[in-house]
Amino acid sequence: MKLNNKIIWITGASSGIGKSLAIALSKYDCKLILSARRTSELEKVKELCNNPDLVYVLPLDLAETDAMQEIAKEAISAFGTIDILVNNGGISQRSPIIETSIAVDRKLMEVDYLGTVAISKALLPHFVANQSGHYVVVSSLMGKFSSHYRSAYCGAKHALHGFFDALRLEHDKDHVKVTFICPGFVNTNVARNALTADGSKQDYQDEMTENGLDVDVFVKKMITAIRKEKYEAYIGNFERFGVLLKRLSPRLVHKFVLRSKVR
């Protein structure tokens, strides 16, 4: 699939992967709709794009699921249609299960799972009417296997795989595609912004994230996966082999993660 001149809606576009993706896609002369909570940061990303006149800023909060129908209407009206929705927005978590408030589990499900589902369902009739559309879902390797101190995050990401696998099956007849992007460690602020046991931000970078893939390198690989319309793409360093180990033996991946320094 060629990305040139596509109309692409990106959530979580104010920083990290979303920001880098927006800038990279602008070089394909894509028309972009950028969404996140912080309008001021979205405006900064817009100005970094190749042609800011082809960028529409649409603030949203994924936790406000009831607003998604109206937001989707505005997104469609921005350029008349949408070709690709990149579900990139979300939050992470770092805390032991035994200490983590159920409010944190609920927050992760509301934002990472239900927010993504709500915005995708709001756009689905448009894709079906067009008999064309592509969901790009930024999941995680933690959506394929789990790790320490990320229980709520892993749960939400695993749930996304269940939902979008079903959507892909139901709407194959409508030529609606789904690509899962499953990052390993990428050097962004995801760890700093991760919620801890009481719902406060971790507010510091961990070693594995600090040594992860450069975000621009990651985005190049991500764009390749989107262009190839892959079902799933696992992008990372050594940690991506956990997916293969999980297929071979759940016991093997258990030992692999225990022996790694994932914290």
Asked if residue 126 lies in contact with residue 134, where contact means CB atoms within 8 angstroms, the answer is no
Is residue 66 predicted with pLDDT exceeding 70? Answer: yes
Q: Cα–Cα distance between 119 and 66 in angstroms, integer?
A: 9
What's the distance, CA 55 to chain centroid?
20
Distances from the Cα of 220 to the Cαs of 22, 23, 65, 128, 214, in angstroms? 12, 11, 31, 29, 10
Q: Cα–Cα distance between 239 and 184 in angstroms, integer?
A: 6
Average pLDDT for residues 165-186, to the nearest whole number? 98
pLDDT band at 259; cut points 50, 70, 90: confident
Average pLDDT for residues 221-238, to the nearest whole number? 97
Q: Which residue has the tokens 């609606």?
A: 176
pLDDT band at 260; cut points 50, 70, 90: confident
The 10s digit of each residue's pLDDT in 206-228 is: 888 999 999 999 999 999 999 99
Inside any domain, residue 2: no
- Count of domains for the chain: 1
Mean pLDDT of the chain: 96
Whole-number CA gyration radius for the chain = 18
Task: Tell me what pLDDT residue 261 has.
Answer: 56
Is residue 232 predicted with pLDDT exceeding 90? Answer: yes
Q: Parallel, antiparallel, or unpaired for β 84-87 and 133-138? A: parallel
How much of the chain, in percent, has pLDDT values that exceed 70? 99
Containing structural domain, residue 103? 7-259
pLDDT band at 11; cut points 50, 70, 90: very high
Q: Indicate which CATH number applies to the domain containing 12.
A: 3.40.50.720
Is residue 263 predicted with pLDDT exceeding 90? Answer: no
Q: Is the dihedral of CA 46, 141, 122, 118 positive or negative?
A: negative
Inside any domain, residue 1: no
Inside any domain, residue 239: yes
Q: For the whole model, what pTM was predicted?
A: 0.96
Q: What's the residue count for the chain?
A: 263
Inside any domain, residue 85: yes
Q: What are the contacts of 53-58 at 24+ separation with CB within 8 A?
A: 54/26, 54/29, 54/30, 55/22, 55/26, 55/31, 56/31, 56/32, 58/9, 58/33, 58/34
Inside any domain, residue 252: yes
Average pLDDT for residues 170-193, to the nearest whole number? 97
Q: Cα–Cα distance between 78 and 100 in angstroms, integer?
A: 41
Please, which residues have CB within 8 angstroms of residue 205's CB and are 6 or more apart in sequence?
189, 191, 192
Asked if residue 95 lies in contact with residue 149, where contact means CB atoms within 8 angstroms, the answer is yes
Catalytic (active site) residue 153: yes
Task: Tell me what pLDDT residue 21 has.
Answer: 98
Q: Which of 56, 135, 153, 234 is catalytic?
A: 153
In the chain, at which residue ranges do the beta strands (DSSP E only) sit? Answer: 7-11, 31-35, 55-57, 84-87, 133-138, 176-183, 232-235
Dihedrals phi, psi of 50, to nearest 5 degrees: -55, -45
Is residue 204 predicted with pLDDT exceeding 60? Answer: yes
Task: Tell me what pLDDT residue 208 has.
Answer: 86
Inside any domain, residue 138: yes
DSSP per-residue string spanning 36-80:
-S-HHHHHHHHHHSS-GGGEEE----TT-GGGHHHHHHHHHHHHS
pLDDT band at 10; cut points 50, 70, 90: very high
Inside any domain, residue 117: yes
